[in-house]
Amino acid sequence: MIELNNITKQFKAGKLVFSSVNETFRKGEFIGLTGPNGSGKTTFLRLLSVNSFPTSGYITYKNMNIHENPQAYLKDVGLVHDQESLPVHLSAVELLEWVLRSRNLWSELSEKEINDIFDRLSLLDDRNEQIGTYSTGMKKKTQVAAAFITRPKVLILDEPLRGLDSSTRGEVEKMLVEAKSRGALILMASHTADVNAEFVDRTLEFPLS
């Protein structure tokens, strides 16, 4: 489904993040990315989310180069970034409406689906307040909701459980299992303790050798 072909990423001369990486990620796989801070996990996911370009090599999805066809690729992708880059003047509800409308997925059921996902994540009355007033945990819940609301074919998640209370973490894990069961490819960077071995198919250890 996603193929990495001889991917090398280098930020400055003499300092490689990783080199000549060849990987294939398939429909329904859950790939856990583990390793210490600074080991390259976020850089790897930035390449896969088209927020960064490889120094050499290329990445394909459905046989198309994702960096040459970002719109066609990203319409199938749900993202939780490492940073909370959310529009501060929208409410969480307005953000999810924009996400659905921008992908031509809005329907008569969408309002209920938005409220249902926020109920699951325990983002209650604040869902209608501006995101700029949210705590870190509330912003994380909004990011997760935005990633899952389109039922994407690919989920790219950088520390999606960080900052969440234990009950919400459990709910997100259920959402991950549901996404995997419907065939989504999941790539999730996390601390080793956060990756539930029961539903991770394989783990990439960083730094990549």
| Percent of all residues in the chain with a pLDDT value above 90, rounded to a whole number | 87
Write down all domains in the chain, each with its CATH number in brackets.
Answer: 2-205 (3.40.50.300)
Query: For position 82, what pLDDT does the model report?
Result: 86
Mean pLDDT value across residues 44-48: 97
Query: For position 195, what pLDDT does the model report?
Result: 60
Query: For position 84, what pLDDT does the model report?
Result: 77
For the record, the structure tokens of 117 come out as: 């996902």
This prediction has a pTM of: 0.95
Cα angle for residues 189, 69, 99 (degrees, 5° grid): 65
Q: What is the pLDDT of residues 66-80, one digit of tens each?
A: 999 999 999 999 999
Among 45-59, 167-181, 190-204, the minimum mean pLDDT is found in 190-204
pLDDT band at 85 (very low <50, low <70, confident <90, very high): confident
Q: Is the pLDDT of residue 167 over 60?
A: yes
Measured CA to CA, the distance from residue 104 to residue 113 in angstroms comes to 15
